[in-house]
Amino acid sequence: MPGLATLLALAATSVIDLTALPTRIPRMSTVETTSEEIAPPDSEAIDARVDRHARLTVPVHVDGTGPFQFIIDTGAQRTVLSDSLAQQLDLEAGPDMQIVGIVQAASVPSAHVGTIDLGRLRLSRVQVPLLKRDDIDADGILGTDTLQDQRVLIDFERSRIEVGDADELGGNRGYEIVVRARRKSGQLIVTNARIDGIKVALVFDTGAELSVGNRALQAALGKRGSQFRAVQVSSVTGHSAIAQVGTASKLDLNDIAISNPFMAFTDSPVFAELGLQNRPALFLGMREMRMFRRVAIDFGSRRVLFDLPKNL
C-alpha cells in the first residue's frame, strides 16, 4: 500500500484524438429529458464545466481565494495543485513527494495549504504535490483524500456534480443498479465485472476520458479484442509512453452491458500500486460512464450506483 509519500495521480492521461477512433454503438445511450430533479436542500450541488478533454471541472477555493477550476478525480489518491496556482498564492514550499502517474513515478515539489474548499467540503492543513499547469490543464485535481465517506454524484444530463452525504443526496432512490466495491488505498475497486467473459477489476476514474487497462487484460483479451494500434499517451507528470488501443465486444457489470468499450493498454505502475498488476484490471473513464444518466460513487458505503437512460 502506498504511503503518504507515494500517491496516484491519473487525470488527463491521454493525448489521443478521440474523433479519429472507431465509432462505438452502445446498447445504452443518454436521452434528453424535460423533467428537472430537485436536489435535497442539504446536498451540495455544484455546477460543473466541461473542459477541452471532456472532463468535468468544479470551482474550488484555496486558502480562501478563488474560485479555481479543479478536476474531481476518483482515480487519484491525493489532491494536487498546479505549480502556477501555488506561485500565484505564494504557498509555503514543502519537501518533494513521490507520485505515480499513468506512465511512471516521479518526484515532484510540494506546498503547504491551509484550506481547500469545495462548497461545504473542506480539506485542512495539507501538503499537496505540485504539477505543471500545462500537464494537468487545470488549476488542480481533487483526489480521493477529499472524498472519503462522501458520495460523488455525477449528473451527465445536467452537467452537474453533487458531493455530500449519501442520504442528503437522495440515498438509493432513482438508481436501477447498485454495485458493491472494496476499498484499497482510498480507491473503490469493483471485482465482479467482465469484459468479453474475462473477469476484470474496475476502478471508476472520473479524471480521465479514456479507459486504461493493464497488460494482463490485453493478454487475456488476445484475439477476442479488436486489432490494437499504437498511440502515444501522456501523464499529468509530463511523461509520455506508447500504448495500444482497441475495443472489446462487451463490458458486463451486474445487469449492465456496455457494447464496444474502448480502451488503451499500457505498462502503468498505477496497477502495481493497487496490487492489480497480475490480474486483468481497468480504470474506467468518463467515455463509458456517459452511457448513463447519473453515476454515484459512494466512498462511505463502498458502492457505485447507476441511473439508466429512460428509454431502456
Give the residue-averaged pLDDT of 224-245: 75
Q: What is the pLDDT of residue 137?
A: 87
Percent share of the chain, pLDDT over 70: 80
Give the residue-averaged pLDDT of 158-184: 85
Q: What is the pLDDT of residue 168?
A: 80
Q: What is the pLDDT of residue 14?
A: 35
Collapsing DSSP to helix, strand or coil, 82 comes out as: strand
Collapsing DSSP to helix, strand or coil, 224 comes out as: helix
Of residues 228 and 81, the one with the higher pLDDT is 81
- pLDDT of 26 higher than 70: no
Residue with C-alpha cell 435535497? 40
Classify strands 198-204 and 187-195 as parallel, antiparallel or unpaired: antiparallel
251 and 214 Cβ atoms separated by less than 8 Å: no
Q: Binning pLDDT at 50, 70 and 90, where does residue 181 land?
A: very high
Q: Binning pLDDT at 50, 70 and 90, where does residue 31 land?
A: very low
Collapsing DSSP to helix, strand or coil, 17 comes out as: coil
Give the residue-averaged pLDDT of 9-38: 31
60 and 161 Cβ atoms separated by less than 8 Å: no
Of residues 160 and 48, the one with the higher pLDDT is 160
pLDDT in tens, 259-288: 999 999 988 888 988 899 899 999 999 989
Percent share of the chain, pLDDT over 90: 37
Of residues 58 and 91, the one with the higher pLDDT is 91
CA 246/CA 209 separation, integer angstroms: 15
- Tell which residue, 234, 201, 208, 193, has the closest CA to residue 286: 208
Give the residue-averaged pLDDT of 207-217: 90
Cβ count near 30 (within 10 Å): 17
Q: What is the pLDDT of residue 109?
A: 94
Of residues 151 and 239, the one with the higher pLDDT is 151
Mean pLDDT of the chain: 79
- CA 149, 136, 232 angle in degrees (round to 5)? 115
Q: What is the pLDDT of residue 104?
A: 67
Q: What is the pLDDT of residue 224?
A: 65
